[in-house]
């Protein structure tokens, strides 16, 4: 043992050309005019309630704070509990957040119905397509984590690794797979819908036949994968990226059939105190600069004009390649109950 | 009329208590009850009785729920029995036996509490996972052909028992320290063997503590989620806590159904409490009388060393191995270990991350928050518990039986569900505490009231009332008499209770989740976030530091005086 | 201060321990409660002290009503200024003897010096001066009892309740403390209620004796009087009259009334017998029986045989089986007669004035 | 079974409670331990029972050495078959009376029926038959003490240790239980060690009495003998001889030796005085003093004045201030003399044979 820092590669490279002489301009892109920027700096801080993965959100905040000098107070909860808390605080008129970030369209709309959000039109509002902006700017989709599967590189030679979802049903992986149960949140539901829609009705039964180990959350699955308890598991690209950056012997696969992309939304609250800082945060999130940070973490950016990321030396396909499958929120909500029941039945799972 | 006035006057203290407990416990529970009977979650702003229904209870009839319940009951029963055996045994050794190193055994008894069950479970999954567990690597290394699989029913039971034994230890240790050897000697003289004396006099006299901790452990293992998730889940052992977790985490969330399950659990637990209350109220357990207490150690003869050895084995399993595993995992630069040899390679282990962590403002802030919250909650919680216990067992005020049930009720509700009730309560109550550390203190007091109450009760029952009454007759006010006679006599029990609450508060996660803010994050949240991020190394590092923090606080608390009661010296 | 209990009834759970009890203890009086084990003595004291809540009745101390079930009055114990020595001692095991004894003075907020001095004095009285700094549970039984006594004495309450305060002390010490107690009680004009099972203690300490039976007072009077005139055979029995026999009236004879002992062939002559008694019993104190070689011919004379001889220090106790009659206890002063052997034939005699014929019980 | 203690020394912390003690209790004998509060009686019993570990010495019960400090033998209490009634009762509060009493029989693994029957018998003896199913802590003090007694009696141990087993019982009950105890002890040929502070109890129960002082035995003998011939003035004092006066020899006179009471003008004639005593004291029992209007002229006659009259039931106790001398206690049987008033002039007389001159202490 020693005290030297281990060789960790930082996930996000935040070097950029930041110019605050007249508003906020980063790498040539004007993110805020002078008026907004000064007002935001005047407020100096903002409160963010987020359901996004803690470490990643912290990377984002770090870059934002470097760029603007505004500090962000983070309350981080998994999306479900976040929703519970936001709705309760909202109901009592004591919502403490200026900005809320959450996954799941269902959660975001329920918050909206409760009057959590106030509309704000970002600079490039008109150029954004309808899968990004919602309800006149009540909230925006900012990025999509990509759900695929990953393997332990110490146990599985990249050459032998499964290349497609259907490879997972190969007898070779009998008892060697880890998956996350369908009820673990919106991400699991999205993956499930993707599997049903894209891989055919026989895929899940076949997967169940493999007798996979079922985890209650994707983080637990990834943890086991990194430790080598299971060689292959379903996983989210950004999480794999972060784990790998901490020397975990893991890598993900870009399957032939594509991967499931679920949504993350962000919006400014109706009760926001630091309105200018909150607006600036939204602008920054949807700017090329912000989108680039998400990209580096391993998320698929929402803006069409930002390149898909290159993660762990693998270039992710573009949005129009057909390999990034986003499920329509309405469809997802409509089929959630049936999907869960079928999944539980197939995998003999309680829930 | 006068009688009425007297009734009211006599009722006032109980009334005040009922109000305090009402806000602390009953209101959150009411919210949960309401949720259980509503179609929609009754959040502040949308509380109403218009959507009442019994639909949520349908879930109880599902085969999944029944299966999970059956599993849980089985696991909780076995784990409780095992934990009780370990805890009571250790408590006896540390409090009453002439084993070598008694002080050390006290430490052994409480040390596992330093490891939150989540951390303990993680550590054991590091140690005993069939593929890469350190123990299995060791077995391989020395050529043993055994594979330990912690991901199994026995594994789950073992880990639960290991980490819940300290509950029994603390409560029973308090009770055994207050034993009057005359009572034991009488059995010994009248032909009872040592073992018989223990089982006829010593342990039955500690019955309030034993039953009390039994109820606690049973209820807590029944709803413990972290161990169920980390150990049970990979082994596909379905339990009630995973079930509730899934209900809470489902998308959309099925909070009302979780509440229904919780309410049912509450009902069951109230019955258990009633049974226990009957057993305790019917008999007397006074061991400290006005005719003197001369604490005396029981001589174990040739069993001294073997029993000490057993205690060491427990220490090894519950503390040394897990801490070792955590240490390795906090230091190692890659989470993946295929053989132990790999760890000796240069650069495989590094203190850098831990160092970084200690200095990080995140850690420092949450450590401070945790310490402040836990100390406040432990002290206040013990105080409230004492007042409740005193009212229940030392006064005739009307409604004291009810107090006991109220005090025990939070036990039945999984903390995550209770956390919701607390959130709603403190959003609705017009006091400026929401969003401050105080709301966490209050929440912890509510969540751990049963533990505190049980801890205090068992020792209050052992002190003869005459001792306190005589002080009152000699001119002291009741409060003076309590602080001069009763409290000092109960000192061991009280310190145990404070310690217990302290450690529970330090590690409590679920109840805090809905109430913390960016300024009032706690260490436990930091650990959970790290784990949830898949950053096992971070989780392990925080856990280690966290153990150190708890250790320091616990040692401080202990040095405030868990001496035994045997005459002023 | 005068202590008055009226119609007090106390029940533990279902069991009635005190049953509609009335007593008055006069100001400065020392009242001894006598009664069988379990008859309710301790319970009565606890009611006076305020440690139990009777279901009915009223208790007055001095001019203050400290308890009244009907009006809902219940003054807490610490404001009644009542001291109590507990039967169970209630010595605080976690304190030193000094701390135990100094406690009531601390409560009265006396200056340190005075406390130290008064505690020292009191410890001197009970003979524990050298133990002041010893932990209170590191004592022998009798020493603990003395701590309990000292603690109540040092307080100088207006009413002192003593529940067998000397039961575990040796005779000499008991004698001495009894005198001290009496002296203190009279000097400070304390009102005392005292429970003891020691006959001579009762007699030495009491201004009046109250006899309890089954939660009630059956007789209350000055010691000599209660001793000379027990109101029933069971009281007499309790006061040490060991010869108690059922009897039936056989009319009057010269010098008194004649009674036949039920189930026996023996007759008894008694003086001053009240009319029609309910289940009459003849009671004769063992000290009033004379044993000798010849009948005395001035009252009752029975022939008998010595069955048991028990040496009692200053006296000898005989058990004599009467011919055709019951066994009789007789106590004979050591110097007053030659020792008899077991088996000896003797005449047992008793003056008719020494025979009391009493109702078996009195209804109260 | 014979119990033998040799050279037993026991210390609590630093304080020596028993100091090089030797006693032998013969098989079937009932030995009463008498001594001041705190002299080591309880400690001695605890050593026999095996509850304390002496620092030195040897204890034999029957033929078995149960303790030997040198050879490191220490048989645990449960294998000594010794019963003990604790001074603090040690009744198990969480059990019923039946359970308390049945415990020793359960340990002997007797059949249920026999247990039930023997417990019922024993509870009958102590008068608690109707309480069998009551919780043991819901009793009065005396009732608890009887439970403790019953528990030891039912066991029929080979050695029975009784530490003031009747101290909280009323006189009648105590009398009865004392007889029962004696009867059981003799029937079962039990070896008994008994601590009591009640003189008549000691005399009634003891085959021999052992007098303890400061952790040692100072005299051990048959009751009459120890009573008639105390070995020292302090023993005499302890045995109820309340008239003890320092004196100096003044040579012999007709009918005995003459002594002057130190500090007084009064002389005492005594018979059978051994030669050169260390700090001699004259001891006269109060029962041996005669009070009358005239001097007796056949021994000691002192003029005095009655100071205190105390009524004692069967007798009256006077305190008489002798002219030019100390105060004298006299106990006079009730019937034997007319009652004297306070202030009356009387002659106090004592036969020279009733005056014992003894050394103040004996060194052992
Ligand atoms: N646990 C103890 N620690 C220290 N000293 C003790 C302890 N128990 C008793 N002693 C001391 O030892 C001496 C003898 O005690 P023991 O109990 O044998 O007396 P005892 O003769 O039974 O007196 P009593 O008649 O008052 O019961 C006493 O002076 C007492 O103070
Ligand atoms: N805590 C209790 N619960 C139930 N019954 C009780 C309790 N305490 C006493 N008793 C009963 O009440 C009656 C009176 O008890 P109390 O203690 O007054 O008797 P006592 O006259 O003091 O007797 P003793 O001389 O034996 O001390 C007894 O029959 C006893 O069994
Ligand atoms: Mg009593
Ligand atoms: Mg003793």
Segment D114-164, tens digit of pLDDT: 999 999 999 999 999 999 999 888 889 999 999 999 999 998 898 999 999
- 3-state class of A51 per DSSP? coil
What is the 3-class SS of B99-120, one letter each residue?
Answer: CCCHHHHHHHHHHHHHCCHHHH
Please say if the pLDDT value at position D23 is more than 80: yes
Nearest by CB to A6, which of B248, B333, B424? Answer: B333
- Return d(Cα D125, Cα D129) in angstroms, integer: 8
Contact criterion met (CB below 8 Å) for D317 and D287: no
Q: Which chain D residues are Cβ-neighbours of C43 within 8 angstroms?
A: 140
Under 8 Å CB-to-CB from B208, ≥6 apart: which residues?
Answer: B175, B280, B285, B457, B458, B461, B462
Nearest C-alpha in B relative to C160? B473
- Return d(Cα D25, Cα B232) in angstroms, integer: 68
User: What number is the average pLDDT over the span A195-201?
Assistant: 90
Helix axes B153-177, B491-507, angle to 10 degrees: 150
Q: In this predicted structure, what is the pLDDT of residue B3?
A: 53
Q: In this predicted structure, what is the pLDDT of residue B567?
A: 34
Please say if the pLDDT value at position D98 is more than 90: yes
The C-alpha angle with vertex D155 and arms to D149 and D158, in degrees rounded to 5, equals: 105
Q: In this predicted structure, what is the pLDDT of residue B569?
A: 32
User: What number is the average pLDDT over the span C22-37?
Assistant: 92
Atom of ligand 2 nearest to the CA of C215: 14
Q: In this predicted structure, what is the pLDDT of residue B338?
A: 65
Helix axes B449-460, B491-507, angle to 10 degrees: 170
CB pairs under 8 A between C and D: 146
Confidence of residue D205 (pLDDT cuts 50, 70, 90): confident
Q: Do D and A have ≥3 inter-chain CB pairs under 8 A?
A: no
Range of weakest confidence among A230-234, A295-299, C182-186: C182-186
Q: What are the φ/ψ torsions at residue A322 (nearest 5 degrees)? A: 85, -5
Q: What are the φ/ψ torsions at residue B348 (nearest 5 degrees)? A: -75, -30
User: What number is the average pLDDT over the span A64-83?
Assistant: 89
CB of B190 within 8 Å of any CB in chain D? yes
Tell me whether residues B192 and D107 touch, CB distance under 8 A.
yes
Range of weakest confidence among B313-322, B551-560, C311-320, D248-257: B551-560
CATH topology for the C233-359 domain: OB fold (Dihydrolipoamide Acetyltransferase, E2P) (2.40.50)
The average confidence (pLDDT) of chain C is: 88
Tell me whether residues B205 and D94 touch, CB distance under 8 A.
yes
Q: Give the residue from C314, C316, C350 with the most D CB atoms within 10 Å of its CB, the best one to mutate.
A: C314
Confidence of residue A40 (pLDDT cuts 50, 70, 90): very high
The C-alpha angle with vertex B325 and arms to B323 and B327, in degrees rounded to 5, equals: 65
Residue in C14, C43, C161 to alter for ligand 2 test, most ligand atoms within 8 A of Cβ: C43
Q: In this predicted structure, what is the pLDDT of residue B568?
A: 33
User: What number is the average pLDDT over the span C114-133?
Assistant: 92
Tell me whether residues B565 and C94 touch, CB distance under 8 A.
yes
Cα dihedral value D134, D135, D140, D141, nearest 10: 130
The interface predicted TM-score (ipTM) is: 0.84
- Return d(Cα B350, Cα B361) in angstroms, integer: 21
Q: Give the residue from D133, D313, D350 with the most C CB atoms within 10 Å of its CB, the best one to mutate.
A: D313
Atom of ligand 1 nearest to the CA of C137: 1
Tell me whether residues A242 and B246 touch, CB distance under 8 A.
no
* Nearest listed ligand to the Cα of residue D128: 2
CATH code given to domain D3-228? 3.40.50.300
Q: Which chain B residues are Cβ-neighbours of D137 within 8 angstroms?
A: 283-284, 286
Residue in C39, C52, C55, C216 to alter for ligand 2 test, most ligand atoms within 8 A of Cβ: C39
Helix axes D141-153, D97-107, angle to 10 degrees: 20
CB of C287 within 8 Å of any CB in chain D? yes
Nearest C-alpha in C relative to D43? C140
Contact criterion met (CB below 8 Å) for B183 and B287: yes
**N- to C-terminal Cα distance for chain C?**
27
Contact criterion met (CB below 8 Å) for D333 and C333: yes
Q: Do B and D have ≥3 inter-chain CB pairs under 8 A?
A: yes
Please say if the pLDDT value at position A32 is more than 50: yes
Decide which of B75 and A14 is more confident: B75
Task: Kindly give the residue spans of alpha helices, DSSP state H, lying in B22-116.
Answer: 27-36, 58-61, 63-96, 102-110
- Nearest residue to A169 via CA among A198, A204, A213: A204
Q: In this predicted structure, what is the pLDDT of residue B492?
A: 82
| Beta strand pairing call for D290-292 and D345-350 | antiparallel
Helix axes B415-428, B255-282, angle to 10 degrees: 100
Q: Which chains touch B (3 or more CB pairs under 8 A)?
A: A, C, D
Tens-digit pLDDT string for chain B (569 aa): 455 555 555 556 677 888 888 888 888 888 888 888 887 777 777 776 767 777 777 777 777 788 888 888 899 999 999 999 999 999 999 888 888 888 888 888 888 887 877 788 888 988 888 877 888 888 888 887 888 888 889 999 999 999 999 989 988 988 888 888 888 888 888 888 888 888 888 888 888 889 888 988 988 888 787 788 788 877 778 788 778 777 777 666 677 888 888 787 777 777 877 887 777 777 778 777 777 776 678 878 788 899 999 999 999 999 899 988 888 888 877 766 666 666 666 666 777 777 777 888 888 888 889 889 999 999 999 999 999 999 888 887 777 778 888 888 888 788 878 888 888 888 888 888 888 889 999 999 999 999 899 889 888 888 888 889 888 888 888 888 898 888 888 888 888 888 889 888 887 877 888 888 888 888 888 877 777 766 667 777 888 887 888 778 777 766 765 444 433 33
Q: In this predicted structure, what is the pLDDT of residue B251?
A: 62
Residue in D36, D38, D197 to alter for ligand 1 test, most ligand atoms within 8 A of Cβ: D38
Tell me whether residues C91 and B291 touch, CB distance under 8 A.
yes
Residue in D10, D13, D43, D215 to alter for ligand 1 test, most ligand atoms within 8 A of Cβ: D43
Q: In this predicted structure, what is the pLDDT of residue B452?
A: 92
From C79's Cα to the closest Cα of chain B, the distance in A is 7
User: What number is the average pLDDT over the span A39-49?
Assistant: 93
- Return d(Cα B499, Cα B382) in angstroms, integer: 10
- Return d(Cα D12, Cα C82) in angstroms, integer: 36
Domain ranges of chain C: 3-228, 233-359
DSSP per residue over D129-173, as a string? GGGTTSBTTSS-HHHHHHHHHHHHHTT--SEEEEESTTTTS-HHH
* Nearest listed ligand to the Cα of residue D197: 1
- Return d(Cα C173, Cα C150) in angstroms, integer: 14
Decide which of A169 and C277 is more confident: A169
Tell me whether residues B396 and C82 touch, CB distance under 8 A.
no
Decide which of C313 and C214 is more confident: C214
Confidence of residue A6 (pLDDT cuts 50, 70, 90): low
CB of B324 within 8 Å of any CB in chain A? no
CA C170 – ligand 1 centroid, Å: 14
DSSP per residue over B369-434, as a string? HHHHHHHHHHHHHHHHHHHHHHHHHH---TTHHHHHHHHHGGGGS-HHHHHHHHHHHHHHS-STTT
CB of B294 within 8 Å of any CB in chain D? no
**Who lines ligand 2 at CB under 6 A?**
C 12-13, 15, 17, 35, 37-43, 87; D 138-143, 168
The length of chain A is: 351
Q: Is the peptide bond before B439 cis (omega within 30 degrees of 0)?
A: no
Q: Which chains touch C (3 or more CB pairs under 8 A)?
A: B, D
Q: Do C and D have ≥3 inter-chain CB pairs under 8 A?
A: yes
Please say if the pLDDT value at position D362 is more than 80: no
Contact criterion met (CB below 8 Å) for B110 and B314: no
Please say if the pLDDT value at position D75 is more than 80: yes
- Closest protein CA for atom 5 of ligand 2: D138
Nearest C-alpha in C relative to B295? C137
- Give yes or no for residue D43 CB within 6 A of ligand 1: yes
Range of weakest confidence among A39-48, A241-250, A251-260, B521-530: B521-530
Nearest by CB to C137, which of B5, B293, B474? Answer: B293
Q: Give the residue from A222, A223, A336 with the most B CB atoms within 10 Å of its CB, the best one to mutate.
A: A223
- Give yes or no for residue D88 CB within 6 A of ligand 1: no
* Nearest listed ligand to the Cα of residue D13: 1
Confidence of residue C312 (pLDDT cuts 50, 70, 90): confident
Distances (CA, A) of B66 to B70, B236, B264: 6, 16, 12
Q: Which chain B residues are Cβ-neighbours of A215 within 8 angstroms?
A: 233-234
CB of B282 within 8 Å of any CB in chain C? no
- Nearest residue to D172 via CA among A314, C215, C235: C235
Segment C193-239, tens digit of pLDDT: 999 888 778 888 889 999 999 889 999 999 888 888 888 898 888 88
From B296's Cα to the closest Cα of chain D, the distance in A is 10
- Nearest residue to C62 via CA among C79, C84, C40: C79
Contact criterion met (CB below 8 Å) for B397 and B13: yes
CB of D176 within 8 Å of any CB in chain C? no
Segment C59-112, tens digit of pLDDT: 999 999 999 988 888 888 888 888 899 988 889 988 899 999 999 999 889 999
């Amino acid at each position: 043992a020693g005290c030297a820092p281990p060789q960790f590669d930082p996930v996000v490279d935040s070097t950029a050309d930041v110019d605050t002489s007249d508003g906020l301009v980063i790498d040539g892109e004007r993110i805020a005019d002078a008026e907004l920027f000064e007002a935001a700096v005047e407020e100096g801080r903002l409160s963010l309630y987020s359901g996004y993965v803690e470490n990643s959100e912290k990377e984002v905040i770090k870059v934002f704070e470097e760029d603007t000098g505004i500090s962000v107070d983070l309350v981080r909860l998994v999306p479900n509990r976040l929703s519970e808390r936001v709705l309760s605080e909202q109901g009592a008129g004591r919502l403490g957040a200026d900005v809320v970030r959450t996954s799941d369209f269902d959660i975001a709309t329920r918050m909206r119905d409760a009057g959590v959000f106030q509309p704000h039109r970002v600079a490039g509002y008109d150029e954004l397509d309808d899968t990004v902006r919602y309800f006149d700017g009540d909230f925006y989709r900012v990025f999509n984590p990509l759900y695929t599967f990953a393997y332990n590189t110490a146990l599985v030679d990249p050459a032998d690794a499964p290349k497609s979802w259907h490879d997972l049903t190969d007898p070779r992986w009998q008892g060697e797979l880890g998956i996350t149960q369908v009820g673990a949140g919106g991400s699991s539901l999205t993956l499930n819908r993707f599997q049903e829609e894209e891989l055919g009705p026989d895929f899940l039964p076949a997967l169940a036949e493999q007798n996979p180990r079922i985890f209650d959350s994707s983080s637990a699955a990834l943890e086991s994968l990194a430790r080598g308890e299971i060689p292959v598991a379903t996983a989210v690209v950004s999480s794999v990226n972060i784990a790998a950056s901490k020397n975990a012997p893991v890598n993900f696969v870009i399957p032939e059939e594509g991967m499931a992309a679920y949504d993350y939304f962000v919006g400014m609250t109706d009760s926001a105190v630091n309105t200018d800082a909150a607006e600036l945060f939204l602008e920054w999130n949807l700017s090329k600069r912000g989108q680039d940070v998400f990209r580096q973490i391993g998320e698929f950016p929402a803006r069409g004009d930002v390149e898909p990321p290159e993660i762990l030396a693998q270039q992710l396909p573009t949005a129009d390649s057909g390999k990034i499958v986003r499920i329509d929120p309405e469809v997802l909500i409509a089929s959630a109950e049936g999907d869960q029941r079928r999944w539980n039945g197939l995998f003999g799972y309680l829930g | 009329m006068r009688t009425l006035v007297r009734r009211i006057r006599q009722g006032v203290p109980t009334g005040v208590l009922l109000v305090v407990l009402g806000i602390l416990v009953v209101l959150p529970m009411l919210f949960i009850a309401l949720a259980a009977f509503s179609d929609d979650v009754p959040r502040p702003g949308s509380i109403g009785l218009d959507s009442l229904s019994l639909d949520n209870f349908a879930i109880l009839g599902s085969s999944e729920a029944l299966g999970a319940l059956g599993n849980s009951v089985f696991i909780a029963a076995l784990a409780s029995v095992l934990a009780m055996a370990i805890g009571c045994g250790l408590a006896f050794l540390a409090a009453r036996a002439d084993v070598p190193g008694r002080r050390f055994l006290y430490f052994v008894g409480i040390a596992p509490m330093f490891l939150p069950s989540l951390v303990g479970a993680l550590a054991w999954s590091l140690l005993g996972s069939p593929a890469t567990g350190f123990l299995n690597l060791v077995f391989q290394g020395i050529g043993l052909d055994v594979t330990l699989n912690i991901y199994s029913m026995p594994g789950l039971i073992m880990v639960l028992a290991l980490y819940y034994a300290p509950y029994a230890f603390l409560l029973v240790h308090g009770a055994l320290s207050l034993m009057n050897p005359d009572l034991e000697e009488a059995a010994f003289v009248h032909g009872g063997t040592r073992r018989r004396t223990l089982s006829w006099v010593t342990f039955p006299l500690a019955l309030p503590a034993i039953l009390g901790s039994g109820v606690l452990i049973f209820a807590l293992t029944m709803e413990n989620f972290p161990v169920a998730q980390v150990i049970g889940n990979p082994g596909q052992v379905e339990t009630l806590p995973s079930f509730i977790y899934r209900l809470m985490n489902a998308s959309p969330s099925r909070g009302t159904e979780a509440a229904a399950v919780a309410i049912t659990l509450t009902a069951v637990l109230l019955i258990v409490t009633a049974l226990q209350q009957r057993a305790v109220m019917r008999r007397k357990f006074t061991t400290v009388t006005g005719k003197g207490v001369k604490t005396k150690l029981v001589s174990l003869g040739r069993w001294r060393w073997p029993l000490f050895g057993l205690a060491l084995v427990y220490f090894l399993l519950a503390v040394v191995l897990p801490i070792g595993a955590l240490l390795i995992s906090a230091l190692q630069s890659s989470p993946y270990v295929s053989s132990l040899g790999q760890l000796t390679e240069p650069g495989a282990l590094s203190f850098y991350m831990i160092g970084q962590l200690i200095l990080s403002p995140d850690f420092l802030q949450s450590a401070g928050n945790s310490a402040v919250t836990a100390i406040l909650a432990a002290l206040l919680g013990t105080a409230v518990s004492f007042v409740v216990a005193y009212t229940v067992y030392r006064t005739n005020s009307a409604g004291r039986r009810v107090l006991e049930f109220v005090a025990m009720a939070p036990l039945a509700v999984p903390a995550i569900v209770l956390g919701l009730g607390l959130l709603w309560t403190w959003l609705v109550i017009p006091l400026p505490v929401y969003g401050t550390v105080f709301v966490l203190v209050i929440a912890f007091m509510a969540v751990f009231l049963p533990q505190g109450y049980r801890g205090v009760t068992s020792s209050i029952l052992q002190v003869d009332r005459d001792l306190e009454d005589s002080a009152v007759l000699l001119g002291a006010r009741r409060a003076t008499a309590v602080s001069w006679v009763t409290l000092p006599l109960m000192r061991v029990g009280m310190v145990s209770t404070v310690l217990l609450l302290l450690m529970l508060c330090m590690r409590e996660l679920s109840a805090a989740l809905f109430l913390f803010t960016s300024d009032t994050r706690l260490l436990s949240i930091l650990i959970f976030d790290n784990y949830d991020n898949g950053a096992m190394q971070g989780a392990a590092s925080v856990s280690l530091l966290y153990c150190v923090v708890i250790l320091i606080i616990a040692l401080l608390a202990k040095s405030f005086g868990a001496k035994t009661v045997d005459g002023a010296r | 201060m005068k202590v008055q209990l009226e119609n007090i009834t106390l029940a533990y759970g279902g069991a009635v321990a005190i049953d509609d009890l009335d007593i008055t203890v006069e100001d400065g009086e020392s009242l001894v409660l006598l009664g069988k084990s379990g008859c309710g003595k301790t319970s009565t004291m606890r009611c006076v002290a305020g440690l139990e809540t009777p279901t009915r009745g009223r208790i007055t101390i001095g001019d203050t009503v400290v308890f009244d079930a009907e009006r809902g009055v219940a003054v807490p114990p610490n404001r009644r200024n009542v001291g109590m020595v507990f039967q169970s001692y209630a010595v605080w095991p976690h304190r030193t003897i000094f701390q135990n004894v100094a406690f009531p003075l601390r409560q009265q907020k006396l200056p340190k010096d005075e406390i130290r001095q008064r505690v020292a004095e009191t410890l001197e009285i009970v003979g524990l001066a050298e133990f002041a700094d010893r932990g209170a549970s590191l004592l022998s039984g009798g020493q603990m009892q003395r701590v309990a006594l000292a603690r109540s004495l040092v307080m100088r309450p207006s009413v002192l309740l003593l529940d067998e305060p000397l039961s575990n002390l040796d005779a000499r010490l008991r004698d001495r403390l009894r005198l001290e107690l009496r002296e203190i009680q009279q000097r400070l004009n304390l009102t005392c209620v005292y429970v003891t099972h020691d006959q001579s203690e009762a007699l030495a300490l009491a201004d009046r004796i109250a006899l309890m039976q089954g939660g009630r007072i059956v007789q209350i009077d000055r010691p000599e009087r209660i001793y000379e005139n027990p109101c029933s055979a069971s009281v007499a029995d309790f006061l040490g009259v060991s010869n108690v026999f059922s009897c039936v009236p056989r009319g009057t004879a010269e010098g008194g009334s004649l009674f036949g002992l039920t189930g026996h062939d023996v007759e008894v002559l008694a003086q001053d017998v009240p009319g029609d008694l309910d289940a009459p019993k003849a009671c004769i104190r063992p000290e009033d029986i004379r044993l000798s070689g010849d009948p005395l011919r001035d009252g009752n004379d029975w022939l008998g045989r010595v069955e048991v001889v028990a040496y009692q220090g200053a006296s000898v106790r005989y058990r004599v089986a009467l011919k055709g009659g019951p066994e009789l206890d007789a106590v004979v002063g050591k110097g007053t007669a030659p020792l008899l052997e077991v088996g000896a034939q003797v005449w047992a005699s008793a003056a008719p004035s020494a025979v009391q014929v009493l109702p078996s019980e009195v209804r109260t």
